[in-house]
Chains A and B, each alone.
Chain A
C-alpha cells in the first residue's frame, strides 16, 4: 500500500486545525467570553495537542496496523464498531458544519440568493473523487495548493494590520462563562483524530515525528493570531461579524478605494473548505467500510452523498439548526471522540508496555 509522507500528513493536520475555526467561531465565542475567547481557544488547543504524542507512540508500537484492528484486538468487535459508529457521526457532522458555514459565507459574498443545488454539485463530485482516489491522492493535492492557502491566510492577517487595531479587553468573563464556552466549542476541535484513522497509511521514519509537532503548532499559532487580530480590530462588534478571516480584510474606509479585497479570503476559504470536506468525507467512508466490511468504498460514498443531501436539506443543514447543534448536543459526541478515545488508546499503550516489560523480566 502506498503511504503518505509526514509532510503530507502535517498538511492534512493543518487543514483539520483550520476546520470550523476561521469563519464563524471567533464571533460565536465572543458572544460568550468576549476577548477571553483566545484563552478558551488556547485551552482547547492544548487539550487537543495531548493527542499527538499518544498518536506517535501508538504508531511506533503498531507501525502497520489499522486503528480498527488494534481496537478489535483489545476491545472486541462490538465495542470497536460502536466507537467507529461514533466516529462516523463525528466526521459526518463536522463535514456538514464546514459546508454549512462556508455555504452561508459564499451566499452572502457572491450570490445572495439560494444556490444550494449548485454548491452541492460543485463540492460533492470533487470530494467523492478525492475519496475514491485515496488518501495519497488528495494529500498530494493539498501539498500542491498548501503554499497558496497559507499565503492567502497570512495575507488576510497582514492586511488587517493596515487598519486601526487596539489590544482587546481581556479578563472580563467569569469562570462559568469560560467553562461553558469550553464545552460549547469542543465539537470544532479533536483535529488529530483523523491521524488515528489513517495511521496505517502514514509513513513516519525515525526522527520525522517532530515535523508533525511543527505543522500542528504552526497551524495553531495562525488560528490564535487570527482570533487576536479579529478581536483587536472589531472589539465590541466582533459578535456581528460571522466570517472572521474574510472580515479581517474589509471594514476600512482607507480600503474603500481598492475595492473588494475579500476575493483573497474567498479563494483561501474555498480551497480550505474543499480540502477539509475531502478529509472528513474520507474519514466517514473509512469508518463506514470498517463498520460494514461487506460494502466497499463506492457504497460508502453513495451513502454519504444521500445522507448529506437529505440531512442538509431536510433537517440539520439549516444553518441555525446546524450551528445550535454544534454548540449544544454535538459536544457530547465530541467529548467521547476527542478525549475518551485517546484515553482508551493511552490505556492500551500502557498495558502493552507493561506486558512487554513483564516479558523482558521473565526472559531475564
Chain B
C-alpha cells in the first residue's frame, strides 16, 4: 500500500485528476438540471405597444411525457427597451431565456414605421441568437402570430420557419433571415427584404388566395381544397389564421417602404435562376376558331447578366432562357385537353409570355425606383464590373450618397428565349 501511494505521488497528474474529481463530482450530482433554470425559446416576437416594447417568447419547457409532443407556450414581458422586456419575460417564466434555438423572429408592422434595426439591436448583440433565425413581419401583433403558430405545430406539425422557408427558397431574391436583413441594411443602398405573413380573422379569410387554417373549424375549407390546420390565437376572441400569400416587405434604412405582392416578387425574381414554378397565364389564344387561355409553368431558368455604360449611361442587360410547360388549358378546345403532349410554344405564345414577364419586371423595377431601393444589387453589379465608369457616374449624380438613386438612371434590356421544357 505504501509503495502504491509512493508511486501515486510520483505522478502528480493523477493527484490533480483526483482533486478535480473530488471537487466537481458533488457539484455535478447536486446541481439542478439545466432545464430547471433555462427556458428554450423557439421563436421570438417583438411588438410596439404605445411607448413600450412587448416581447413574446414561444417557449418550449422540457417536461417528461409519454406522447413525444412538445409543449410550448407563449410568455410575454413588457419594457421600455427590448432588453428590459426580455428580462421581464424571464421573470414571468421563472427561468432565464435561452435564445440559441430561436429560429424565428417576428415583428409587427408598426415597428417597421421606424428604423427596425434600433429595435432589434439587442438581438444582434446577444450572440446566442443564431443569425439564421428567420425574420418575419406580420400585420397584427407578433404575439398573435406566435399563438397561431402553436396551433400550426399542434395540428399540422408545421413550423413557422418552414412556412417562411418555402418563400425564402422560391420567392425572395435573398433568404429572409436576420443576417440577410443586416446585409441589406448595411449595404450602400440600405435596402432589404423580409418575409410577410398576415393574420386574418375567420370573417376575412374568403378574400385570401392562400391560408393555413385549422381542421376543427374549417370543414368547408377542406372542400375548397385548402390546406387545413389550426388557428384560435386571436386575442379579440375571433378565431384567426396565419395566411401566407408569399408577400414580402421592402425596407429602406430599416423602415417599411412597400409591401410587395407575389406578382411583384415574381417580377423582382425574374433574374433569379433559383426562382421557378411561377405560373404564367396566356389569354386570348386562337385555336380552331375558339379563344382559349393557357397556363404555363416556368420549369427551368437560365440567366446571364451583364452591364455596361453607353454614352455615359448605365445599361443592364439580362439574357433569359425560360423552359416552360403547359399545365392547364382554360377553354373549350377539346383537342388540347386530349393531346396532353401539346406543350409546343408557338411564336405567338412565346411573345405573349415574354410581354407578360417584361411587364412584371418593369412594374417591379418601378417600385424599386419609387422607393429608392435596390434589393437586386444593380449598383453592386456595376461597381463590380464597371467600377471606373460607375464611380464617375455617381459623382455626376451626387456622389456616393446618391447610390440608392442610381437605379433610376439604369436602362434595362431583357432578352428572352421562351421554349418548351
User: Is the A/B pair a real complex?
Assistant: yes
Residues of A within 8 A of B (CB): 108, 112, 121, 125, 129, 164, 167, 169, 234-237, 240-242, 247, 250-257, 260
A122 (CB) vs chain B CBs: closest residue: B20
Question: Which one of B129-137, B309-317, B356-364 contacts A?
Answer: B129-137
Total inter-chain residue pairs, C-beta < 8 Å = 62
Question: Which one of B61-69, B167-175, B258-266 contacts A?
Answer: B167-175
Interface centre among A112, A242, A253, A256, by most B CB within 10 Å?
Answer: A253
B382-408, CB < 8 A from A: 383-384
Give the CA-CA distance A257 to B174 in the complex, in Å.
18
A125 near B161 with CB under 8 A, answer no
Identify B131's interface contact among A112, A251, A257, A260, CB under 8 A.
A251
Known contacts being A240-B124, A253-B168, is A121 close to B134, with CB within 8 Å?
Answer: no
Residues from chain B with a CB closer than 8 A to the CB of A108 are 127-128
Identify A253's interface contact among B13, B175, B187, B383, CB under 8 A.
B175
Quote the shortest CB–CB distance from B353 to chain A (angstroms): 28
B128 near A237 with CB under 8 A, answer no
Instruction: Show 17 A/B contacts (Cβ-Cβ < 8 Å), sorted by A.
Output: A108-B128, A112-B128, A125-B13, A125-B17, A125-B20, A169-B383, A234-B183, A237-B183, A247-B131, A250-B131, A251-B132, A251-B179, A252-B175, A253-B134, A254-B165, A256-B132, A256-B165
Residues from chain A with a CB closer than 8 A to the CB of B239 are none
Quote the shortest CB–CB distance from A148 to chain B (angstroms): 23
Give the CA-CA distance A237 to B98 in the complex, in Å.
24
Render B156-189 as a binary contact track against A, CB cut-off 8 A, 1 for contact: 0000011001001100001111010011001100
Quote the shortest CB–CB distance from B290 to chain A (angstroms): 46
B127 (CB) vs chain A CBs: closest residue: A108
B130 near A250 with CB under 8 A, answer yes
Known contacts being A112-B128, A169-B383, A250-B132, is A237 close to B165, with CB within 8 Å?
Answer: no
B128 (CB) vs chain A CBs: closest residue: A112
Residues of B within 8 A of A (CB): 13, 16-17, 20, 98, 100, 103, 124, 127-128, 130-132, 134, 161-162, 165, 168-169, 174-177, 179, 182-183, 186-187, 380, 383-384
B132 near A237 with CB under 8 A, answer no
Give the CA-CA distance A256 to B384 in the complex, in Å.
31
Identify A256's interface contact among B103, B127, B128, B182, CB under 8 A.
B103
Quote the shortest CB–CB distance from B119 to chain A (angstroms): 17
Known contacts being A112-B98, A256-B161, A256-B165, is A121 close to B20, with CB within 8 Å?
Answer: yes
B23 (CB) vs chain A CBs: closest residue: A121
Residues from chain B with a CB closer than 8 A to the CB of A129 are 13
Give the CA-CA distance A121 to B20 in the complex, in Å.
8
Residues from chain B with a CB closer than 8 A to the CB of A247 are 131
Give the CA-CA distance A254 to B127 in the complex, in Å.
20
Give the CA-CA distance A314 to B165 in the complex, in Å.
47
Give the CA-CA distance A125 to B20 in the complex, in Å.
10
A125 near B16 with CB under 8 A, answer yes
A254 near B124 with CB under 8 A, answer no
Give the CA-CA distance A252 to B384 in the complex, in Å.
25
Give the CA-CA distance A129 to B17 in the complex, in Å.
11
Quote the shortest CB–CB distance from A297 to chain B (angstroms): 13
A169 near B175 with CB under 8 A, answer no
B183 near A235 with CB under 8 A, answer yes
Give the CA-CA distance A179 to B294 in the complex, in Å.
63
Identify B132's interface contact among A112, A235, A236, A252, CB under 8 A.
A252
Identify A169's interface contact among B103, B169, B384, CB under 8 A.
B384
Identify A240's interface contact among B98, B182, B380, CB under 8 A.
B182
Residues from chain B with a CB closer than 8 A to the CB of A164 are 174-175
Give the CA-CA distance A59 to B165 in the complex, in Å.
59
Residues from chain A with a CB closer than 8 A to the CB of B20 are 121, 125
B161 (CB) vs chain A CBs: closest residue: A256
B183 (CB) vs chain A CBs: closest residue: A237
B186 near A237 with CB under 8 A, answer yes
Give the CA-CA distance A121 to B23 in the complex, in Å.
11
The 7 A-B pairs with the shortest beta carbon distances in the complex, nearest first, are A108-B127, A253-B175, A251-B131, A251-B132, A251-B179, A236-B186, A237-B182
Residues from chain A with a CB closer than 8 A to the CB of B13 are 125, 129
Give the CA-CA distance A340 to B132 in the complex, in Å.
46
Give the CA-CA distance A127 to B134 in the complex, in Å.
41
Residues from chain B with a CB closer than 8 A to the CB of A255 are 132
Residues from chain B with a CB closer than 8 A to the CB of A169 are 380, 383-384
Residues from chain A with a CB closer than 8 A to the CB of B179 are 234, 237, 251
Quote the shortest CB–CB distance from B272 to chain A (angstroms): 11
B134 near A256 with CB under 8 A, answer yes
Residues from chain B with a CB closer than 8 A to the CB of A252 are 132, 175, 177
Give the CA-CA distance A253 to B183 in the complex, in Å.
15
Give the CA-CA distance A121 to B27 in the complex, in Å.
15
Residues from chain B with a CB closer than 8 A to the CB of A242 are 127
A253 near B98 with CB under 8 A, answer no
Quote the shortest CB–CB distance from A34 to chain B (angstroms): 12
Residues from chain B with a CB closer than 8 A to the CB of A251 are 130-132, 177, 179
A129 (CB) vs chain B CBs: closest residue: B13
Give the CA-CA distance A240 to B183 in the complex, in Å.
10
Quote the shortest CB–CB distance from B296 to chain A (angstroms): 28
Residues from chain A with a CB closer than 8 A to the CB of B169 are 253-254
B128 near A253 with CB under 8 A, answer no
Give the CA-CA distance A254 to B168 in the complex, in Å.
9
Give the CA-CA distance A266 to B316 in the complex, in Å.
44
Give the CA-CA distance A240 to B132 in the complex, in Å.
13
